Amino acid sequence: MQLGFVIDQSRCIGCHACTVACKAENNVPVGDFRTWVKYTEEGEFPTVKRSFAVLRCNQCSAAPCVTICPTNALEKRPDGIVDVNPKACIGCKSCMHGCPYDALYLGEDNTAEKCHFCAHRTERGLAPACAVVCPTEAIIPGDFDDPNSIVSEMKRDFGLTQRKVEAGTGPNVLYRDATDACLDPNLTNGAGGQIWADRHPGLDLASEEFDAMETRAKARTTLNVAHPALWGWKITGYLFTKSIAAGAFLAAAFAGMLPMNVEGGSIWANASVPILALIFLTMTSALLVADLKRPERFLYILLRPNFSSWLVRGTYFLIGFGLLLTVWAGLALGSVELGTAARWSLLGATGVVGALAACYTGWLFGQAKGRVLWMRRGLWLHLIVQAMVAGSAALLLCSIFGWFEADAAASLGRVLGSSLGLHALFTLTEGRMAPFGRDAEYHRVHRLVSDGPFSRRHWRIGIALGIVAPLILLAIPPSLIAPPIAFALAGTFSLIGLYSEEDILVRAGQALPIS
């Protein structure tokens, strides 16, 4: 069984009865919506055409919200309905980014909510409230797996369309006679204002205004539901501190300065790298928990894990990396001697887990089907390179306090220079890294970074200050500027530029509407 809807837009009059019925039936609070009506307009006065589309959860066959949810709070029921268990939700908002249809929202209890096909009615043989109340019978529910159902017959007999089939979700809400602009947000723009509300000025509006000039959309969105950005500085901070934590160990390994020989050198010199990495790893975990809307439930990730979610897999990588760093610190502080084979085995295991801790976010972002900028190919590898930049830069800053010898600092400088070169390569080619099948949507968002509201920060801080300036400082001969000063400046500029680029990635990915 696969329950779903056919929405006959040739009958829809845009009356919003479905929205009101849904709110009344499911106690949906003011400002939130499980189903809503989008208005678009095409043409110029006096020949303007207004179109309507009823938007909602698509009860996807391959629901990305179910895949990305770390606690199994979302499930695909045997009848095809995608439902939420609010008692299991931790408010991480991953499902909301996973959905390419903007179908989920945070309810009054700070847990995810969405259309569940009025399951409490369906189980009693009743139709969903929206279908019952529709005055023109434009909303037709049914079972797409039943060849004799009305929806199956309409699917066979009419040229029905679906939203964002390129996302690979298998949507089970089909439309008859819906205009392309109502279903495809790439074809419309809302920068001109809406009929019953004015947009507040800010970054979102600046992004839409730029997009309007660039794309020259054929239609205007004149009524839609607001979907504000969900992730902000805490997620940027998480990316940044995680880069330093993983990169400190990886950069030290490439520089040949890890406490491989724990019986030699001072205790602090041997323990400094793993301790520094542990500090930033702790900060990473704290930011992740702080960003949850239900932080008291953070242990649900471990107690009821969904192992298809990269958020769960990443949590285990972070835990494993933390345990291995603790072993390194314990060996150094205890002046414990290990054999060569044991030391190299420990180094290899920590390096692999550290790299996974650095890059898993790229695969997590790949599950965010609603945020196409985050889905770019090769992001996971770029995150490892960014970790090398962050780790070597942070260690170079520490070297000015005498933590490491001059030779070790010089090795870190070479690691930073090489990492910055790779970072520049990835950054300058990311415009060509669109996920397969979603090129137009990706390039639309990426233009915000390359030419739009984020471009000044991108080119001046991310590229000029964060990459070019450090490379120049690292290339200056020691006779012109003392190495400790050059290293400190190069490390500082690299970290500022990296933070800016990671913040742009988080914010630009949410800047344009996806429904």
Same domain? For 289 and 401 the reply is yes
pLDDT digits (tens, 9 = 90+) for 122-152: 999 999 999 999 999 999 999 999 999 999 9
Same domain? For 237 and 196 the reply is no
User: What is the full DSSP assignment across 279-300?
Assistant: HHHHHHHHHHHHH-SSGGGTTH
pLDDT digits (tens, 9 = 90+) for 19-76: 999 999 999 999 899 999 999 999 888 888 999 999 999 999 999 999 999 999 999 9
- Name, in order, each residue with C-beta under 8 angstroms of 141's C-beta and a sequence gap of 6 or more: 3, 4, 5, 117, 127, 128, 131, 151
Q: Which tokens in the block code for residue 339?
A: 């054999």
Instruction: Please check the confidence at residue 265 and state whether its pLDDT lies above 50.
Output: no
What pLDDT score does 263 carry? 44
User: What is the full DSSP assignment across 2-13?
Assistant: -EEEEEETTT--
Same domain? For 142 and 238 the reply is no
Which of 156-170, 338-352, 466-480 comes out lowest in average pLDDT?
338-352
DSSP type of residue 457: I
Same domain? For 257 and 196 the reply is no
Q: Which helix (H) or strand (E) holds 106?
A: strand 105-106
Residue at a domain's end among 143, 178, 200:
200
Number of H helices and number of E strands within the chain?
19, 11
CATH number at residue 383: 1.20.1630.10
Same domain? For 58 and 165 the reply is yes
Spatial distance between the Cα atoms of 238 and 292, rounded to a whole number of angstroms: 12
Same domain? For 186 and 243 the reply is no
Residue at a domain's end among 143, 176, 200:
200
Same domain? For 81 and 36 the reply is yes
In a domain, 209, yes or no: no
What pLDDT score does 264 carry? 45
Grade residue 423 by pLDDT with cuts at 50, 70 and 90.
very high
Domain count, the chain: 2
In a domain, 504, yes or no: yes
Residue at a domain's end among 157, 185, 200:
200
Same domain? For 166 and 294 the reply is no
Q: Is residue 70 within 8 Å of residue 312, measured between CB atoms?
A: yes
Same domain? For 281 and 332 the reply is yes
CATH number at residue 110: 3.30.70.20
What is the chain's mean pLDDT, rounded?
A: 93
In a domain, 271, yes or no: yes
Same domain? For 305 and 423 the reply is yes
Same domain? For 188 and 237 the reply is no
Domain range for residue 19? 3-200
Average pLDDT over residues 371-376: 98
